[in-house]
Amino acid sequence: MLRVRCLRGGSRGAEAAHYIGSRFGRSVTGWVQRTFQSTQAAAASQNSCTADDNKAIAPVPEDCPVCSYNEWDPLEEVIVGRAENACVPPFSVEVKANTYEKNWGFYQKFGGQSFPRDHVKKAIAEIEEMCNILKMEGVIVKRPELIDWSVKYKTPDFESTGMYAAMPRDILLVVGNEIIEAPMAWRARFFEYRAYRPVIKDYFHRGAKWTTAPKPTMADELYDQDYPICSVQDRHKLAAQGKFVTTEFEPCFDAADFIRAGRDIFVQRSQVTNNLGIEWMRRHLAPEYRVHTVSFKDPNPMHIDATLNIIGPGLVLSNPDRPCHQIEFFKKAGWTVIHPPLPLIPDDHPLWMSSKWLSMNVLMLDEKRVMVDANETPIQKMFENLGISTIKVNIRYANSLGGGFHCWTCDIRRRGTLQSYLD
């Protein structure tokens, strides 16, 4: 199969087209010339993207099963993750950098084994109930495949066991009618995409676009093997210096480091998303979408949606413990910035992969309905004061695996159109 990645420059592009045509025939010549012309047109468009930002783009076909531009349009279809067979990831350097020292002994002891089975059983029951409630609210629910994550695998660069398919938000990003499959940054999550392939292939057959970002090798060079963390103070210092466990050896990102607001998409450089990964996404989505990098006073940046969560047009939740360095950008655009109340989750409840701020990791069913933790009464009252009805669901045990409602889901279809909310 012949692939032409890029033909640059007028004469060189023409020469390349002529050469390939001479080798493979007239029909291929025409295809290459058309590709070259479209590349030129794309380059010209990108050079004048400021002028084209408000230009209308082709609407998504009405029968396309995938269509979502933001975090709050009426939700019609969603993928919900699974806790079944969830395994503790091996205690590698990237896992150490993303977890708190109080849990390191847990990873060292149980890496490659199941999370506590009674805990997982309760998490499964909670997520089943969450799915039932979503269905009662009129939302179509899809689930990933069941996979044995304890199986050890080996690539030319590393070996590991898997983790889970609990958090579709981490691996899938929907932009319009396109599903983007993230490359990930943890070795234990290298093959996580396999659980989602059957449902993604079904969407593809029914008309959706499907893109897989470049898969990293996850060789040793992707990680700072001597990343110097021993305490929270170390983390704060390193984060302030812009130092992370992932290097710029190759692009990597988790989809959950991106959050959408129509034409504007916000992303953070984190322990799992590097600048090369952000640049890949920026180029891939230009010129229709604008990718903005934001940063926070966060000792352990990993996934943006428990730090900054956009819940409506011009309405954003900003974690008071992790202030956003670019928050004035939102205020100058006329947005309302809300600091959610402190979470109530008890200190003795295990949170192996996250902080208590999963309380703000909510799922908007539309602008006036939100799925929120049944135990978190302060944030329930906050939403009610905003005129937003709360759908209360208990997922305390599911929280322990590293996510709230936003993490446990990936919205596949929301009823809405592409708009700009920051012009």
Alpha-carbon torsion (328, 331, 335, 339), positive or negative: positive
Asked if 164 contacts 85 with a C-beta cutoff of 8 angstroms, the reply is yes
Q: Which residues are catalytic?
A: 254, 303, 407
Strand partners, 413: 67, 77
Alpha-carbon torsion (329, 213, 269, 286), positive or negative: negative
Q: How far is CA 77 from CA 140, 150, 174, 375, in A?
A: 4, 30, 12, 26
Query: Could you identify the residue written with the tokens 């799925």?
Result: 371
- The tokens describing 22, both together, are 């001479």
User: How many Cβ atoms are within 10 Å of 36's Cβ, its own excluded?
Assistant: 21
> If we measure between CA atoms, which residue out of 375, 399, 344, 378 comes closest to residue 119?
399
Asked if 356 contacts 378 with a C-beta cutoff of 8 angstroms, the reply is no
Cα R_g (the chain), whole angstroms: 22
